[in-house]
Amino acid sequence: MLSFLLSILYKWTKFRRGEYPLSILYYHHVFAENEPYHPDDISAQNFEQQIEFLQKHFNILALAEAINLLEQKKLPPKALVISFDDGYQDNYTTALPILEKFNAPATFFVATEGVEKGYLWNDEIEQAIKKTTKEIISNKINGTALSIKTQSEKINAFHTLVNSLKFQSNEQRSIKIISLLEELNISTFTKTMMTTEQLSDLHYRGFTLGAHTHSHTILSTETNENVQQELIINKNILENITKQAIDFLAYPNGLEGRDFSDTHCNIVQKLGFKAAFSSNDGGSVNSTNMYKIPRFMPYRKQLPLFALSIAKIAGEHV
């Protein structure tokens, strides 16, 4: 029944658009167990169930192949790409064995400052709040004092700070984080990101690496000069790892109009990227702007509804 419904939805889209749409899903963490600080990220058990299910009901393609077929209007029905943002180590230790078990290709968009330092700015905030013995964060950091006496208060403080500081420039945010770490008396951090060796191994195994800026900064918060430097550094580091061109970029946060603009798309194109990806809902067809390709993640947890949501989103927002 599910296969029949999916076929009908995709045939209807082809009838209206003259071609099948491309769906691109994105993940961040894949945790061994559910992580209370990251309730929207998937556990290994659920991820395995999803990948097995997707492999059965969709045509999972490598990103370069999908873009090539998209440009030729030759995508198969139920075409789908799997992608990951940021470059977290659990992508390698937890997600990779599952992807290989089901022969599912995937792309990993990597923020390379995390490769160099071992963690990103949001990881510093998370670990500092988890480890500190302090019970309050002063209003100097975010304008309002935040109690961190209990785990639930710590989780709330973490999300409050990240959701605020991510919309500041890299320079402004760094100043705030330095003050936060001094206030909480935390100076050491556990590595969370993939290493150069792990990224090289991913590439060797046939997976795709893509750019995600160097410091994971939202492009609209930076000057055009800083944007260009963020992308050049990111691209160069990844190309030194793969020994080949990095063709694809995922915009951090990624909402068109708020997090990136046409100006940023032009910069990305001039730097030699072949395509770039947002986090807007929707599928892609041949007429889709190659520097504004949508990616999405349905929130329906039941697998049949998850599949139907993919087909519906891809067909309605092209």
Confidence of residue 300 (pLDDT cuts 50, 70, 90): confident
**Predicted local distance difference test score (pLDDT) of residue 228:** 98
Percent of the chain scoring above 70 in pLDDT = 100
306: tokens are: 């998850």
Closest to 18 measured CA to CA, from 318, 267, 294, 280? 318
CB 45 within 8 A of CB 32: no
Is residue 249 a contact partner of residue 277, using CB atoms and an 8 Å limit? yes
pLDDT of res. 314: 94
As a whole number of angstroms, the distance between CA 45 and CA 98 comes to 10
The predicted pLDDT at position 318 comes to 61
CATH tag, 2-116+192-316: 3.20.20.370
CB-CB neighbours of 162 under 10 Å: 14
The pLDDT of residue 316 is: 80
Phi, psi of 134 (to 5 degrees): -70, 160
Using the structure block, give the residue that is written with the tokens 């167990």: 33
Q: Where are the domains of the chain?
A: 2-116+192-316, 121-184
* Residue 295 clears pLDDT 90, i.e. is over it: yes
Positive/negative CA dihedral, 203, 206, 210, 215? negative
168, 221 Cβ separation under 8 angstroms: yes
Q: What is the pLDDT of residues 76-107, one digit of tens each?
A: 999 999 999 999 999 999 999 999 999 999 99
